[in-house]
Amino acid sequence: MASTALPTLPDYLSPEIMLNPEKREFPKFNLVRLMHTVFEPTKGCRVCILIDFEDPPQRIKDFAFLKEDGYPVQKNAHKYFYETLRDHAIEELGMHGGEMFAFKCTHGSNLDLEDEVWDTDGKQLSLDKDIYQEYDLVLCISTWSATAPLTAKCKEYGFRGATLHGLNDIILNSGLAVDYREVSRDSEKLRVALTNADTIEIDFTLEDGRVLTASLGLDAQDAQKSHGLCLGTNPDIANLPAGEVYFVPTDANGQFPMKYEDGTLGVLDVKDRSIYRSTLIEGNQKTIDEHNARLADDPITGTLGELGFGTQVLPVSYADIQDEKVLGTCHLATGRDDHLGGDILPDMFKKHENATHDDILFAPHKTPNFNISQVRMNRGDQQEILIENFRPSQYLIDSLAD
């Protein structure tokens, strides 16, 4: 009788590494490898880098920001992308350009960008006329995410690109050092494992023992993936680091906890896909009151626009752009979801500054005050546990096996 090979898992999916992702070994960050893998073909492409400042004309002219304190994201963009492209990567990749430009900081996740942009001589230009129409690849390395607005612009003007907001050393040496062909394969395996789900239920256990449950209606939609590959010539934006499977909820009901930026903890009540009330657990009542006032003034801000699951084994970077991609975590997002194929558009908000897409990440380091005790998927007559206590279930692990 012929022997049947047992399913195998990559080394980074071993129990030891998954329990201690900081022990995973990564190759040294290599921009040429990253660009070639993510953007093949690169030959003949003209590339540029976008960064952001509160006062871009003063900071970008003659690279003045390099002589000043602060600006860690922008300095990483200059050192690891601009200088590397200038010194050798442009030639090795067969590309042209490599210029750096600065736009005005949006102060909000995925808010539309103002059209004004400045070059390193301090000259004011137009994003629409001088960048999107002139470059084939646009790399946006900024303080706030620009994935949603650049996704809309790439479809209008036909370029490809990547958003890499919050870039830090941990991300450079882990989330951007991986082989994105492997990331893409793993993301597709998990996408297939989750696609066409009818509902997903998330149980949250609070420190006082209460269990809150949020139920997300998905209407058997095809799951989507953020997998880091932006191949060919079709307009597209990769969000790097990548590695997630996501849905645009069609309904949502129940409750889930929220940890605000100041550490305040609240319970959010959800009905018909929208958060309509926040109640204090501990912390600052003023924070809760301000959120409730915003919900009352502009209710669309409470709409749930995304449910996402991480697919990679990565160390904590303390930047959500990477940490939401970690296997065993999940996240919800409120606000605009047009870049995900959803129906919440920027012009539906009462105020421009409200038209954000804000991720709410549930991960041990981010939300230690409560636990994701279980996540369940319902698909027809099939029910599968996906996550327990921030650990991927055997169902997900088996789905990743070759």
pLDDT at position 4 over 70: no
Q: What pLDDT band is residue 381 in, cutting at 50, 70 and 90?
A: very high
Q: Of 229, 397, 369, 231, which Cα lies nearest the Cα of 313?
A: 397
SS3 205: strand
CA–CA separation, 169 and 180 (whole Å):
18
Residues near 296 by Cβ (< 8 Å), separated by ≥ 6? none
CA–CA separation, 132 and 129 (whole Å):
6
List, as one string, the DSSP characters of 332-383.
Answer: EEEE--GGGT-S--GGGSSSGGG--EEEEEE-TTT-TTEEEEEEEEEETTEE
Residue with tokens 């010194």: 87
Q: What pLDDT band is residue 288 in, cutting at 50, 70 and 90?
A: very high
Q: Of 108, 101, 162, which Cα lies nearest the Cα of 129?
A: 101
Q: Of 206, 333, 216, 324, which Cα lies nearest the Cα of 265?
A: 206
pLDDT at position 2 over 50: no
SS3 157: helix
CA–CA separation, 94 and 114 (whole Å):
31
Measured in degrees and rounded to the nearest 5, phi and psi for residue 37 equal -70, -45
Measured in degrees and rounded to the nearest 5, phi and psi for residue 343 equal -115, 10
CA–CA separation, 162 and 141 (whole Å):
8
Terminus-to-terminus CA distance in the chain, angstroms? Answer: 22
Alpha helices in 24-116 (DSSP H): 31-39, 56-60, 72-76, 83-84, 90-93
Give strand pairing partners of 326.
312
Query: Does the pTM exceed 0.85?
Result: yes
What pLDDT is recorded for position 55?
A: 97
What pLDDT is recorded for position 279?
A: 98
CA–CA separation, 159 and 133 (whole Å):
8
Return the ∠ at Cα 238 (arms to 331 and 141), rounded to 5°.
90
CA–CA separation, 149 and 142 (whole Å):
13
The domains located in the chain, with CATH, are 29-172 (3.40.50), 180-400 (no CATH)
pLDDT tens-digit readout, 179-234: 999 999 999 999 999 999 999 999 999 999 999 999 999 999 999 999 999 999 99
Query: Cis before residue 249, ω within 30 degrees of 0?
Result: no
Beta strand pairing status for 96-104 and 46-53? parallel
pLDDT at position 77 over 80: yes
What pLDDT is recorded for position 184?
A: 97
DSSP code of residue 153:
H
DSSP code of residue 10:
-
Q: Of 108, 90, 110, 152, which Cα lies nearest the Cα of 127?
A: 152
CB-CB contact of 131 with 137 (8 Å): no
CB-CB contact of 195 with 45 (8 Å): no
CA–CA separation, 183 and 236 (whole Å):
17
pLDDT at position 360 over 60: yes
Query: Cis before residue 368, ω within 30 degrees of 0?
Result: no
CA–CA separation, 322 and 166 (whole Å):
9
CB-CB contact of 336 with 357 (8 Å): yes
Residue with tokens 């305040």: 264
pLDDT tens-digit readout, 132-148: 999 999 999 999 999 99
**Average pLDDT value for the chain:** 95
Helix axis angle, 31-39 relative to 180-194, nearest 10°? 40
